[in-house]
Amino acid sequence: MLMIPGPTPVPEKVLLAMAKHPIGHRSGEFSQLIAETNENLKWLFQTKNNVMTVAASGTGTVEAAIINFLSAGDRILVGSNGKFGDRWVQIAEAYGLNVTTIKSEWGTPLNPDDFAKELQADSEKKIKAVMITHSETSTGVLNDLEAINKLVKEHGEALIIVDAVTSLGSYNIPVDEWGIDVIASGSQKGFMLPPGMGFVTASDKAWEAYKTATLPKFYLDLGKYNKSADKSSTPFTPPVTLYFGMKVALEMMKEEGLENIFARHTRHKEASRAAMKALGLPLFAPDTHASPAVTSVVPDGVDAEKIRSVMKNKFDIALAGGQDHMKGKMFRMGHLGFVSDRDVLCAISALEATLTELGHTPKESGVAAASKIL
């Protein structure tokens, strides 16, 4: 049982759809599949623009989101309060961008005021882009995209580039309404699919910037993907079987409806957090900025790795560990994508039993606390 923030659970009918034999990716039948899934992805991304699919992990897709719209030496602000924020700084620097990192401690949200300061001081409009990680998977912090985006809009020149790898499909991001310029996500997250495909969409303003952007690219050249998407095609061989699965997964999402999907993730976030509090397990992210996709816990007096080990060996439930300097000190419970109330309750009951097994019988019931919210 996968209670990690990716790969996330995949519905049986999606798995079976993917077991279908591949077809030719230049056939009329596949072209129809591209057209249909592109329309449904537009619905999910709340945009009129093409949602381009790239055969790549989330990192590859976010790299595309950065490098297609900038040139070497361009000034860019990158928010970083976790492993993934750090990674986007590394990518921006690898390509010779002039990066100003806006840092917050791990577990603390990015502070919009820090962005405001840099953006308001930039009277010459040298800042070409502002990049943030919306849901920081390494910490369970949800950064305030809406507030930071507003500041970028006031600046007027800079693009906003968003890593929505674990927030797209779990939190409401009205991409066109907010004027998000570039936003990227990955299949093994809110999309209820196995890993192997990323998604990215770009605004008209971003496409204008694309025209003069000179960072070298070919496989990750989004202009090629956009042009192909217009013709219901792909520039390179797409992951055909993932497309079969995506068709079914998107149909399931449409049936549930965006509001219901977001409400379910919020409910699971709140139930998980209430349970952790009842169980005496300290939460790493504050209530005001908690990710709807993943809940991070830094146990006090109990070994995080022992908790993960009992959960895995006794109950066959996978929890994620801490990353980088938080390795061994944290566990992260994913509740992203194809997750039901039953799954959340099941994981919490097992966690309760695990604490008892480890000699830390909780005073309060996590299940009771979660039940109230569910």
In terms of residues, how long is the chain?
374
Q: For residues 47 and 176, is the Cβ–Cβ distance under 8 A?
A: yes
215 part of the interface to a second copy, by CB under 8 A: yes
197 part of the interface to a second copy, by CB under 8 A: yes
Task: Write the DSSP string, 133-200.
Answer: ESEETTTTEE--HHHHHHHHHHH-S-EEEEE-TTTBTTB---HHHHT--EEEEETTSTT-S-SS-EEE
Task: Write the DSSP string, 26-95.
Answer: TSHHHHHHHHHHHHHHHHHHT-SS--EEESS-HHHHHHHHHHTT--TT-EEEEEESSHHHHHHHHHHHHT
Candidate list 79, 107, 109, 194; residue touching a second copy; CB under 8 A:
194
Local structure of residue 310 (DSSP, 8 states): H
Distance CA 223, CA 111 (A): 33
Interstrand relation of 141-142 and 135-136 (parallel, antiparallel or unpaired): antiparallel
Q: Which two tokens stand for residue 174?
A: 């009205």
Question: Smallest gap, in angstroms, from Cβ of residue 184 to a second copy?
Answer: 12
Candidate list 123, 212, 216, 255; residue touching a second copy; CB under 8 A:
216
Question: Smallest gap, in angstroms, from Cβ of residue 338 to a second copy?
Answer: 11
218 part of the interface to a second copy, by CB under 8 A: yes
20 part of the interface to a second copy, by CB under 8 A: yes
56 part of the interface to a second copy, by CB under 8 A: yes
Q: Is 365 helix (H, G, I), strand (E, B) or coil?
A: coil
110 part of the interface to a second copy, by CB under 8 A: no
Residue with tokens 């509001």: 259
Candidate list 6, 107, 292, 322; residue touching a second copy; CB under 8 A:
6
Window 127-166: contact mask with a second copy (x via CB under 8 A): ----------------------------------------
Binding residues for a second copy, total number by CB under 8 A? 53
195 part of the interface to a second copy, by CB under 8 A: yes
Assign 3-state DSSP to the chain and report helix, strand, coil percentages, each to 5.
45, 15, 40
Q: Which stretch binds a second copy (CB under 8 A): 118-126, 141-149, 210-218, 343-351?
A: 210-218
Candidate list 79, 186, 322, 366; residue touching a second copy; CB under 8 A:
186
Question: Smallest gap, in angstroms, from Cβ of residue 248 to a second copy?
Answer: 13
Candidate list 217, 227, 267, 277; residue touching a second copy; CB under 8 A:
217
Window 69-108: contact mask with a second copy (x via CB under 8 A): ---------------------xx--xxx------------
7 part of the interface to a second copy, by CB under 8 A: yes
Phi first, then psi, for residue 131 (nearest 5°) are -120, 130
Window 228-257: contact mask with a second copy (x via CB under 8 A): --------xxxxxxx---------------
Distance CA 69, CA 205 (A): 10
Q: For residues 328 and 321, is the Cβ–Cβ distance under 8 A?
A: yes
Residues within the interface to a second copy (CB under 8 A): 2, 4, 6-7, 9-10, 15-16, 18-27, 55-60, 63, 90-91, 94-96, 186, 188, 194-197, 215-221, 236-242, 318, 320-321
